[in-house]
């Protein structure tokens, strides 16, 4: 597991499943499903059982690395 983004309480790491929220089995591709369906951040957190800080870290990482995450997400969908 290699950290790819640091935050005080949540980091995004690369695992065999792809970009993952540390301490969970939730990938950024799981989060992307809800982002593309236009779920608000609170509902994403509720559905995936994530803290506000974990959701914020995931959404920030997605925003900061949109091209890379979107490309990986499209690969996962195929």
The first and second tokens of residue 7, run together, are 């935050």
pTM, to two decimals: 0.86
Which CATH number fits the domain 2-77, given the four candidates 1.10.10.10, 1.10.443.10, 3.40.50.300, 1.20.58.60? Answer: 1.10.10.10
**C-alpha–C-alpha distance, residues 53 and 42, integer Å:** 11
Q: Where are the domains of the chain?
A: 2-77
**C-alpha–C-alpha distance, residues 48 and 65, integer Å:** 21
| Residue range 12-49, pLDDT digits in tens | 999 999 999 999 999 999 999 999 999 999 999 999 99
Closest CA to 2 of 50, 10, 16: 16
- With beta carbons less than 8 A apart as the criterion, state whether 60 and 45 touch: no
- With beta carbons less than 8 A apart as the criterion, state whether 53 and 6 touch: no
């Amino acid at each position: 597991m290699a950290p790819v983004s640091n935050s005080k309480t949540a980091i995004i790491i690369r695992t065999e499943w792809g970009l993952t929220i540390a301490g969970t089995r939730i990938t950024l591709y799981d989060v992307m499903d809800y982002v593309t369906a236009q779920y608000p951040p609170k509902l994403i957190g509720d559905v995936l059982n994530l803290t506000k800080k974990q959701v914020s870290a995931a959404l920030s990482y997605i925003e900061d690395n949109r091209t890379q995450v979107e490309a990986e997400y499209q690969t996962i969908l195929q």
